[in-house]
């Protein structure tokens, strides 16, 4: 009973912090908007609904989604350092968008997302094949192999972008940035919500899969089906986020590790915490990027990259000892 009460207090604290950051995000920016003005100034209400609200909602959904995607990948790969950043998933999504621009120049946002989804899912399957073939299964070596795999995909994408003179067109997906998120340009991220719900429903199966192939089969679980379902969920989250705002690194790596160090690896138990901490982390980084060199902005991909990169290095050093 004491543990349940303690967990509820932690969850309530995370909810309060996230809601506070949501409020700050909604009313922080170049255009000064006060809450009371929303009911008296139609122009500010319109700006709020077209720009500020979509941006904040995108931050919450993508932060929660990428955190959960990282947790799923860590369970499937049985490695704490595997995530969309260290498994080539972000690079695969960018490659999918690139080929949609080459083959279908008039493709809609949904078309680009479908292309990114296919490439990301295939790349995830290849990555899983790579780590199964690797005999030296060091916890640090596996993500480094994934980073090299992602760099190869990135190099291929850059080559084709250069050959087709669309290097500049693909730059917007290289670094995550929420400044351009507006009404009518972000709705694909709504697909993250049902994935989060499905992940919670199948949380126990994903936790069992994280214990290994033989253990899962002994319990009568279809290991391959659950793994493919998890990889598809990750691919959908990554492709939706990259198409909407660009690549955001390290969220799926840092947040699950922090949450699991505090609460353990039970996905059903940690899922709400991972979602809240991921959302709060992205909100914090975005707010910080907006106010550091006001009235200009630092792209959130850069902010998350710096903070996440340092944290990743600390985790590697700690694990290697």
Joined tokens for residue 296 = 């200009």
Mean pLDDT along residues 61-87: 87
Give pLDDT, residue 184. Answer: 67
All structural domains of the chain with their residue ranges: 2-320
Sort 309 into a burial class: Cβ within 10 Å, 0-12 / 13-18 / 19+.
middle
Mean pLDDT along residues 204-227: 80
> String of b and e for 165-179 (b: at least 16 CB within 10 Å)?
eeeeebeebbbbbbb
SS (H, E, C) 21-60: HHHHHHCCCCCCCCHHHHHCCHHHHHHHHHHHHHHHHHHH
Q: Using one digit for the tens of pLDDT, what is the confidence trace for 81-140?
A: 888 888 888 889 888 888 888 888 787 878 888 998 999 999 999 998 888 877 566 667
Q: What is d(CA 49, CA 285) in angstroms, rounded to the nearest whole number?
A: 22
Q: How confident is the model at residue 296 (pLDDT cuts 50, 70, 90)?
A: confident
Q: How confident is the model at residue 307 (pLDDT cuts 50, 70, 90)?
A: confident
Mean pLDDT along residues 219-223: 79
Sort 83 into a burial class: Cβ within 10 Å, 0-12 / 13-18 / 19+.
buried
Looking at every residue in the chain, the average pLDDT score rounds to 83
Residue, of 204 and 19, whose pLDDT is higher: 19
Yes or no: say if 94 and 157 are a contact pair by the CB < 8 Å rule: yes
Omega cis (within 30) before 295: yes
pLDDT of 319 higher than 70: no
Joined tokens for residue 4 = 């349940």
Residue, of 321 and 226, whose pLDDT is higher: 226
Length of the chain: 321
Nearest 5°: the CA angle 291, 293, 296 is 90
pLDDT of 248 higher than 70: yes
Yes or no: say if 97 and 112 are a contact pair by the CB < 8 Å rule: yes
Q: What is d(CA 106, CA 104) in angstroms, rounded to the nearest whole number?
A: 5
- Torsion on CA atoms 255, 125, 155, 313, rounded to nearest 10: 30
Q: Using one digit for the tens of pLDDT, what is the confidence trace for 154-204?
A: 888 888 888 887 766 666 666 777 777 777 667 788 888 888 888 888 888
Mean pLDDT along residues 35-49: 83
Q: What is d(CA 173, CA 242) in angstroms, rounded to the nearest whole number?
A: 6
Sort 235 into a burial class: Cβ within 10 Å, 0-12 / 13-18 / 19+.
buried
Give Cα 206 distance to the centre of its chain.
Answer: 18
pLDDT of 9 higher than 80: no
Q: What is d(CA 289, CA 76) in angstroms, rounded to the nearest whole number?
A: 33
Percent of the chain exceeding pLDDT 70 equals: 92
Residue, of 243 and 184, whose pLDDT is higher: 243
Yes or no: say if 142 and 81 are a contact pair by the CB < 8 Å rule: yes
Mean pLDDT along residues 24-30: 85
Give pLDDT, residue 218. Answer: 79
Look up the CATH superfamily of 2-320: ABC transporter involved in vitamin B12 uptake, BtuC (1.10.3470.10)
């Amino acid at each position: 009973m004491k543990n349940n009460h303690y967990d509820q207090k932690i969850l309530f604290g995370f909810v309060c912090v996230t809601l506070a950051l949501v409020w700050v995000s909604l009313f922080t920016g170049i255009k000064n908007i006060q809450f009371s003005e929303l009911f008296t100034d139609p122009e500010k209400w319109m700006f709020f609904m077209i720009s500020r609200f979509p941006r904040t909602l995108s931050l919450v959904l993508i932060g929660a989604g990428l955190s959960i995607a990282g947790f799923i990948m860590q369970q499937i790969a049985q490695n704490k350092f595997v995530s969309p950043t260290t498994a080539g998933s972000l690079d695969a999504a960018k490659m999918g968008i690139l080929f949609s621009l080459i083959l279908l120049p008039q493709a809609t946002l949904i078309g680009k997302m479908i292309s990114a989804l296919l490439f990301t899912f295939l790349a995830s399957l290849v990555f899983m094949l790579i780590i199964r073939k690797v005999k030296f299964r060091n916890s640090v070596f596996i993500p480094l192999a994934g980073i090299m795999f992602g760099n190869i995909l990135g190099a291929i994408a850059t080559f084709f972008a250069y050959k087709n003179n669309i290097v500049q067109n693909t730059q917007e997906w290289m670094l995550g940035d929420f400044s351009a998120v507006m009404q009518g340009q972000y709705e694909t991220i709504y697909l993250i919500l049902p994935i989060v719900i499905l992940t919670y429903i199948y949380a126990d199966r994903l936790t069992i899969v994280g214990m290994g192939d033989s253990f899962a089969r002994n319990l009568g679980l279809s290991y391959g089906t659950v793994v493919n379902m998890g990889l598809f969920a990750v691919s959908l989250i990554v492709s939706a986020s990259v198409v909407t705002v660009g690549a955001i690194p390290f969220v799926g790596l840092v947040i699950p590790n922090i949450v699991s160090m505090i609460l353990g690896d039970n996905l059903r138990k940690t899922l709400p915490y991972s979602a809240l901490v991921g959302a709060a982390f992205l909100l914090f980084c975005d707010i910080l990027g907006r106010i550091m060199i006001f009235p200009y902005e630092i792209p959130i991909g850069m902010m998350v990259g710096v903070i996440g990169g340092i944290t990743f290095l600390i985790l590697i050093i700690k694990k290697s000892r």
